[in-house]
Amino acid sequence: MSVASQADEPFQVLDEAVLEAMEVRHDPYDYAFVDDVMPMARRDEILADCPVIPHRGTYGVPNLRYGANFGLVLKDLQNPRFRKIVERKFGVDLSKGVPTMVMMGSTTGHYNEGYAHPDSKHKLFTVLVGFTREYPYERGRLRILRSNNRDDYAFEYPPEYGKMCLFKVSEKSWHGFLPQKSERKSLQFCWVDSKAYARETYMRHALSAWAKATPGFNKLLEYVPRDWKKVLTRH
* Distance in angstroms (rounded) separating the CA atoms of residues 16 and 29: 24
In a domain, residue 3? The reply is no
Domain residues for 183? 16-194
pLDDT digits (tens, 9 = 90+) for 190-231: 999 999 999 999 988 777 665 665 665 455 555 445 444 444
Residue 210 within a domain: no
Cβ-Cβ contacts under 8 Å for 214 (sequence gap 6 or more):
none
**Domain count within the chain:** 1
Rounded average pLDDT over 28-42: 98
| Least trusted range by pLDDT, from 49-53, 55-59, 139-143, 163-167 | 55-59
Instruction: Give CA torsion, residues 235, 162, 26, 58, to 10 deg.
Output: -10
Q: Measuring CA to CA, which residue among 215, 190, 223, 183 is closest to residue 205?
A: 190
pLDDT at 2 over 50: no
Q: What is the pLDDT of residue 219?
A: 54
Q: Give the separation between CA 8 and CA 140, rounded to whole angstroms.
A: 35
Q: Cβ distance 105 to 51 under 8 Å?
A: yes
Q: How many Å apart are CA 52 and CA 143, to the nearest integer?
A: 25
Domain-located, residue 161: yes
Predicted model pTM: 0.87
Domain assignment of residue 227, yes or no: no
Q: Which residue has the higher pLDDT, 2 or 195?
A: 195
How far is the first Cα of the chain from the last one, in angstroms, to the nearest whole number? 25
67-111 pLDDT per residue, tens: 999 999 999 999 999 999 999 999 999 999 999 999 999 998 988
